[in-house]
Amino acid sequence: MKVVEFQNTQGVEVQYICADLVERIIAFMIDIAIVSFSITILYAIVEGMSGIAENMFVLFVIIPLAFFYHLLFELLNDGQSLGKLIVGIKVARVDGMPVQTNDLLMRWMFRLVDFLLTTGVLAAVFVGVTPRSQRLGDVLADTTVIKVKHRKTGLNRVMSLTTLTKHKPKYLQKAVFTEEQMLMIKEVYDRSASFPSQENREMLASVAENVAATIGIETPENHKVFLTQVVKDYVALTR
Sign of the C-alpha dihedral, residues 157, 159, 165, 167? negative
pLDDT band, residue 120 (cuts 50/70/90): very high
Beta-strand relationship, 143-147 and 13-17: unpaired
Look up residue 85 and give its DSSP letter: H
- Whether 155 has a pLDDT exceeding 70, the answer reads no
Burial 168-198 (b: 16+ CB within 10 A, else e): ebebbeeeebeeebbbbbbbbbebbeeeeee
- Whether 160 has a pLDDT exceeding 50, the answer reads no
Helices marked H in 77-197 — which ranges? Answer: 82-87, 101-109, 111, 121-129, 136-141, 155-158, 179-194
Q: What is the mean pLDDT of the chain?
A: 84
Give the pLDDT confidence score for residue 158 in this predicted structure: 45
Q: Residue range 174-196: average pLDDT?
A: 78
- Whether 189 has a pLDDT exceeding 60, the answer reads yes
